[in-house]
Amino acid sequence: MTGTLYVVATPLGHLGDLTLRAAELLRQVPVVAAEDTRRARGLLTHLGASPQLLSYHAHSPERRLAAILDLLGDGRDVALISDAGTPVVSDPGADLVAAVRAAGLAVVPIPGPSAVATALSVSGLAGDRYLFLGFVPRKGAERARLLKQAAASEWSVVFFEAPSRVVDLFDDLAVLVGATRRMTAARELTKLYEEIRSGTLPELSAYYGSKEPRGEFTLVLEGAEPAEPPDRTEDALRRATALLIEGVTKKDVARRLVEEFALARNDAYKLVTELPDAPDA
Protein backbone atom coordinates (compact mmCIF):
# COMPACT_ATOMS: atom_id res chain seq x y z
CA MET A 1 0.00 0.00 0.00
CA THR A 2 1.28 3.44 -0.90
CA GLY A 3 0.58 6.66 0.94
CA THR A 4 -1.61 9.59 -0.04
CA LEU A 5 -0.64 13.22 -0.39
CA TYR A 6 -3.31 15.40 1.20
CA VAL A 7 -3.39 19.05 0.10
CA VAL A 8 -4.84 20.76 3.17
CA ALA A 9 -6.24 24.29 3.38
CA THR A 10 -5.48 26.00 6.70
CA PRO A 11 -6.88 29.21 8.25
CA LEU A 12 -5.95 32.64 6.91
CA GLY A 13 -5.85 33.83 10.49
CA HIS A 14 -8.83 32.78 12.62
CA LEU A 15 -8.23 29.21 13.81
CA GLY A 16 -11.97 28.62 13.95
CA ASP A 17 -12.00 28.54 10.16
CA LEU A 18 -10.14 25.23 10.02
CA THR A 19 -12.59 22.59 8.82
CA LEU A 20 -13.39 19.58 10.99
CA ARG A 21 -12.09 17.30 8.25
CA ALA A 22 -8.77 19.14 8.07
CA ALA A 23 -8.37 19.13 11.86
CA GLU A 24 -9.05 15.40 12.06
CA LEU A 25 -6.62 14.62 9.28
CA LEU A 26 -3.81 16.74 10.74
CA ARG A 27 -4.21 14.89 14.04
CA GLN A 28 -3.88 11.53 12.30
CA VAL A 29 -1.42 12.02 9.45
CA PRO A 30 2.15 10.85 10.25
CA VAL A 31 3.97 13.52 8.20
CA VAL A 32 3.25 17.19 7.46
CA ALA A 33 5.17 19.06 4.77
CA ALA A 34 4.91 22.77 5.61
CA GLU A 35 6.01 25.99 3.97
CA ASP A 36 7.15 27.29 7.38
CA THR A 37 7.57 24.66 10.09
CA ARG A 38 7.47 27.25 12.87
CA ARG A 39 4.04 28.51 11.83
CA ALA A 40 2.85 24.99 11.20
CA ARG A 41 3.95 23.90 14.66
CA GLY A 42 1.70 26.54 16.24
CA LEU A 43 -1.34 25.20 14.39
CA LEU A 44 -0.48 21.58 15.14
CA THR A 45 0.08 22.32 18.83
CA HIS A 46 -3.34 24.00 18.94
CA LEU A 47 -4.80 20.75 17.54
CA GLY A 48 -2.85 18.53 19.88
CA ALA A 49 -1.16 16.93 16.88
CA SER A 50 2.47 15.80 16.71
CA PRO A 51 3.33 14.52 13.24
CA GLN A 52 6.81 14.53 11.76
CA LEU A 53 7.36 18.01 10.32
CA LEU A 54 9.26 18.58 7.08
CA SER A 55 9.88 21.97 5.51
CA TYR A 56 8.74 22.30 1.91
CA HIS A 57 8.98 25.74 0.35
CA ALA A 58 9.81 27.48 -2.91
CA HIS A 59 13.56 26.98 -2.40
CA SER A 60 13.54 23.41 -1.10
CA PRO A 61 16.19 21.21 -2.75
CA GLU A 62 15.23 18.39 -5.10
CA ARG A 63 16.18 15.87 -2.44
CA ARG A 64 13.32 17.07 -0.22
CA LEU A 65 10.80 16.31 -2.97
CA ALA A 66 12.45 12.92 -3.47
CA ALA A 67 12.24 12.25 0.29
CA ILE A 68 8.51 12.95 0.32
CA LEU A 69 8.01 10.64 -2.66
CA ASP A 70 9.92 7.94 -0.77
CA LEU A 71 7.67 8.40 2.28
CA LEU A 72 4.57 8.04 0.13
CA GLY A 73 6.05 5.04 -1.63
CA ASP A 74 6.67 3.42 1.76
CA GLY A 75 2.99 3.79 2.62
CA ARG A 76 3.11 6.90 4.82
CA ASP A 77 0.51 9.61 4.25
CA VAL A 78 1.73 13.20 3.95
CA ALA A 79 -0.23 16.44 4.42
CA LEU A 80 0.93 19.49 2.46
CA ILE A 81 0.12 22.85 4.07
CA SER A 82 1.17 26.43 3.32
CA ASP A 83 1.50 29.36 5.70
CA ALA A 84 -2.19 30.17 5.30
CA GLY A 85 -5.07 29.31 3.01
CA THR A 86 -5.05 26.78 0.20
CA PRO A 87 -1.64 25.40 -0.86
CA VAL A 88 -0.32 25.98 -4.38
CA VAL A 89 -2.41 29.18 -4.85
CA SER A 90 0.56 31.62 -4.97
CA ASP A 91 2.30 29.18 -2.62
CA PRO A 92 4.79 26.37 -3.25
CA GLY A 93 3.63 22.83 -3.90
CA ALA A 94 2.68 22.57 -7.56
CA ASP A 95 5.87 20.66 -8.40
CA LEU A 96 5.29 18.26 -5.52
CA VAL A 97 1.68 17.61 -6.55
CA ALA A 98 2.77 17.09 -10.16
CA ALA A 99 5.54 14.67 -9.14
CA VAL A 100 3.22 12.66 -6.91
CA ARG A 101 0.61 12.39 -9.66
CA ALA A 102 3.29 11.44 -12.20
CA ALA A 103 4.40 8.66 -9.87
CA GLY A 104 0.87 7.25 -9.93
CA LEU A 105 0.23 8.07 -6.28
CA ALA A 106 -2.97 9.50 -4.82
CA VAL A 107 -3.48 13.25 -4.26
CA VAL A 108 -6.55 14.24 -2.21
CA PRO A 109 -7.68 17.85 -1.63
CA ILE A 110 -8.94 18.92 1.79
CA PRO A 111 -10.63 22.23 0.86
CA GLY A 112 -11.10 25.20 3.09
CA PRO A 113 -10.05 28.84 3.46
CA SER A 114 -8.85 30.80 0.44
CA ALA A 115 -7.92 34.48 0.46
CA VAL A 116 -9.05 34.79 -3.17
CA ALA A 117 -12.59 33.55 -2.54
CA THR A 118 -12.83 35.42 0.76
CA ALA A 119 -11.90 38.78 -0.75
CA LEU A 120 -14.17 38.30 -3.76
CA SER A 121 -17.11 37.47 -1.52
CA VAL A 122 -16.96 40.85 0.28
CA SER A 123 -15.70 43.04 -2.58
CA GLY A 124 -19.08 43.91 -4.04
CA LEU A 125 -17.52 43.28 -7.45
CA ALA A 126 -18.41 40.57 -9.93
CA GLY A 127 -17.10 37.15 -8.92
CA ASP A 128 -18.70 34.93 -11.56
CA ARG A 129 -15.55 35.28 -13.66
CA TYR A 130 -12.23 36.65 -12.48
CA LEU A 131 -8.55 36.80 -13.35
CA PHE A 132 -6.10 35.86 -10.59
CA LEU A 133 -2.61 37.35 -10.91
CA GLY A 134 -1.30 36.78 -7.38
CA PHE A 135 1.90 38.70 -6.61
CA VAL A 136 3.05 40.61 -9.69
CA PRO A 137 6.80 41.33 -10.09
CA ARG A 138 8.11 44.46 -8.39
CA LYS A 139 9.34 45.98 -11.65
CA GLY A 140 10.32 45.23 -15.21
CA ALA A 141 8.67 44.12 -18.42
CA GLU A 142 6.72 41.27 -16.83
CA ARG A 143 5.11 43.62 -14.31
CA ALA A 144 4.16 46.00 -17.10
CA ARG A 145 2.69 43.16 -19.16
CA LEU A 146 0.59 41.79 -16.31
CA LEU A 147 -0.71 45.20 -15.23
CA LYS A 148 -1.67 45.99 -18.82
CA GLN A 149 -3.54 42.68 -18.95
CA ALA A 150 -5.31 43.50 -15.68
CA ALA A 151 -6.29 46.95 -16.94
CA ALA A 152 -7.90 45.51 -20.07
CA SER A 153 -9.69 42.61 -18.36
CA GLU A 154 -13.49 42.70 -18.43
CA TRP A 155 -13.44 40.41 -15.40
CA SER A 156 -12.55 41.30 -11.83
CA VAL A 157 -8.81 40.90 -11.21
CA VAL A 158 -7.42 39.56 -7.92
CA PHE A 159 -3.92 40.42 -6.71
CA PHE A 160 -1.86 39.62 -3.64
CA GLU A 161 0.48 42.36 -2.47
CA ALA A 162 2.85 43.13 0.39
CA PRO A 163 2.08 46.21 2.52
CA SER A 164 5.31 47.96 1.55
CA ARG A 165 4.43 47.80 -2.16
CA VAL A 166 0.66 48.22 -2.18
CA VAL A 167 0.63 52.00 -2.82
CA ASP A 168 2.93 51.54 -5.82
CA LEU A 169 0.46 49.02 -7.22
CA PHE A 170 -2.47 51.42 -6.77
CA ASP A 171 -0.54 54.19 -8.53
CA ASP A 172 0.70 52.04 -11.41
CA LEU A 173 -2.78 50.71 -12.08
CA ALA A 174 -4.31 54.18 -11.92
CA VAL A 175 -2.02 55.31 -14.74
CA LEU A 176 -3.41 52.50 -16.90
CA VAL A 177 -7.11 52.52 -15.99
CA GLY A 178 -7.78 56.10 -14.93
CA ALA A 179 -9.10 57.62 -11.73
CA THR A 180 -12.57 56.10 -11.65
CA ARG A 181 -11.95 52.34 -11.67
CA ARG A 182 -12.79 50.86 -8.27
CA MET A 183 -10.92 48.35 -6.17
CA THR A 184 -11.48 46.57 -2.87
CA ALA A 185 -8.48 46.20 -0.58
CA ALA A 186 -8.75 43.41 1.99
CA ARG A 187 -6.06 43.43 4.67
CA GLU A 188 -5.38 40.94 7.46
CA LEU A 189 -8.34 38.79 6.44
CA THR A 190 -10.02 36.96 9.37
CA LYS A 191 -7.44 38.37 11.81
CA LEU A 192 -7.90 40.77 14.72
CA TYR A 193 -7.20 43.90 12.66
CA GLU A 194 -9.03 42.85 9.51
CA GLU A 195 -9.79 45.80 7.26
CA ILE A 196 -11.83 45.82 4.04
CA ARG A 197 -11.89 49.11 2.18
CA SER A 198 -13.34 49.96 -1.24
CA GLY A 199 -12.73 53.02 -3.37
CA THR A 200 -11.11 54.32 -6.49
CA LEU A 201 -7.42 53.67 -6.97
CA PRO A 202 -6.43 57.29 -6.10
CA GLU A 203 -8.59 57.13 -2.96
CA LEU A 204 -6.93 53.90 -1.81
CA SER A 205 -3.49 55.27 -2.65
CA ALA A 206 -4.12 58.39 -0.58
CA TYR A 207 -5.50 56.42 2.37
CA TYR A 208 -2.74 53.85 2.59
CA GLY A 209 -0.08 56.39 1.62
CA SER A 210 -0.93 58.45 4.71
CA LYS A 211 -0.44 55.55 7.13
CA GLU A 212 1.88 52.59 7.21
CA PRO A 213 -0.21 49.59 6.17
CA ARG A 214 0.46 46.26 7.83
CA GLY A 215 -0.42 42.73 6.85
CA GLU A 216 -0.69 41.12 3.46
CA PHE A 217 -3.29 42.51 1.06
CA THR A 218 -5.74 40.72 -1.20
CA LEU A 219 -6.95 43.19 -3.81
CA VAL A 220 -9.90 42.96 -6.19
CA LEU A 221 -9.90 45.34 -9.17
CA GLU A 222 -13.16 46.12 -10.95
CA GLY A 223 -13.32 44.79 -14.50
CA ALA A 224 -13.21 47.12 -17.49
CA GLU A 225 -16.36 48.02 -19.37
CA PRO A 226 -16.83 45.61 -22.30
CA ALA A 227 -15.58 47.12 -25.52
CA GLU A 228 -18.25 47.94 -28.07
CA PRO A 229 -18.02 45.56 -31.03
CA PRO A 230 -16.89 47.35 -34.20
CA ASP A 231 -19.66 48.37 -36.60
CA ARG A 232 -19.07 46.25 -39.70
CA THR A 233 -22.23 47.27 -41.54
CA GLU A 234 -20.30 48.88 -44.39
CA ASP A 235 -18.11 45.78 -44.76
CA ALA A 236 -21.23 43.59 -44.82
CA LEU A 237 -22.86 45.83 -47.45
CA ARG A 238 -19.80 45.65 -49.70
CA ARG A 239 -19.62 41.88 -49.33
CA ALA A 240 -23.33 41.46 -50.07
CA THR A 241 -23.14 43.68 -53.15
CA ALA A 242 -20.19 41.72 -54.53
CA LEU A 243 -21.96 38.40 -53.98
CA LEU A 244 -25.15 39.62 -55.64
CA ILE A 245 -23.16 40.80 -58.66
CA GLU A 246 -21.70 37.31 -58.88
CA GLY A 247 -25.24 35.97 -59.10
CA VAL A 248 -25.52 34.50 -55.60
CA THR A 249 -29.13 34.42 -54.41
CA LYS A 250 -30.36 36.73 -51.66
CA LYS A 251 -30.97 33.74 -49.41
CA ASP A 252 -27.40 32.48 -49.78
CA VAL A 253 -25.94 35.97 -49.42
CA ALA A 254 -27.82 36.43 -46.16
CA ARG A 255 -26.54 33.06 -44.93
CA ARG A 256 -22.96 34.04 -45.72
CA LEU A 257 -23.32 37.36 -43.91
CA VAL A 258 -24.50 35.51 -40.80
CA GLU A 259 -21.45 33.24 -40.97
CA GLU A 260 -18.85 35.86 -41.88
CA PHE A 261 -20.03 38.88 -39.88
CA ALA A 262 -21.99 37.24 -37.04
CA LEU A 263 -25.11 39.19 -38.01
CA ALA A 264 -28.50 38.14 -36.73
CA ARG A 265 -30.31 36.15 -39.41
CA ASN A 266 -33.17 38.68 -39.72
CA ASP A 267 -30.73 41.62 -39.90
CA ALA A 268 -28.71 39.92 -42.62
CA TYR A 269 -31.76 39.19 -44.77
CA LYS A 270 -33.11 42.74 -44.31
CA LEU A 271 -29.76 44.20 -45.38
CA VAL A 272 -29.68 42.05 -48.53
CA THR A 273 -33.28 42.66 -49.60
CA GLU A 274 -32.86 46.43 -49.29
CA LEU A 275 -29.98 46.49 -51.73
CA PRO A 276 -30.95 47.76 -55.22
CA ASP A 277 -31.09 45.44 -58.18
CA ALA A 278 -30.70 42.31 -56.08
CA PRO A 279 -31.58 39.21 -58.13
CA ASP A 280 -34.56 37.21 -56.89
CA ALA A 281 -33.94 34.14 -54.72
Same domain? 137 vs 71:
no
Same domain? 93 vs 145:
no
Check whether 230 has a pLDDT greater than 80: no
Q: What confidence tens digit (pLDDT) does each residue in 246-264 have?
A: 888 888 999 999 998 888 8
Confidence of residue 277 (pLDDT cuts 50, 70, 90): low
Q: Are 182 and 199 in contact (CB under 8 A)?
A: yes
Same domain? 67 vs 133:
no
Confidence of residue 281 (pLDDT cuts 50, 70, 90): very low
Q: What confidence tens digit (pLDDT) does each residue in 64-107 have?
A: 999 999 999 999 999 999 999 999 999 889 999 999 999 999 99
CB atoms within 10 A of CB 69: 19
Confidence (pLDDT) at 211: 87
Q: How far apart are CA 210 and CA 276, in angstroms?
A: 68
Instruction: Classify residue 281: in a domain, yes or no.
Output: no
Q: Are 186 and 218 in contact (CB under 8 A)?
A: yes
> What amino acid occupies position 198?
S
Q: What confidence tens digit (pLDDT) does each residue in 1-13 have?
A: 899 999 999 999 9
- Cβ contacts of residue 162 below 8 Å, gap of 6+? 135, 216, 217
- Cβ contacts of residue 62 below 8 Å, gap of 6+? none
- Cβ contacts of residue 81 below 8 Å, gap of 6+? 8, 10, 26, 32, 33, 34, 35, 40, 43, 87
Q: Domain with 74 in it: what CATH number? A: 3.40.1010.10
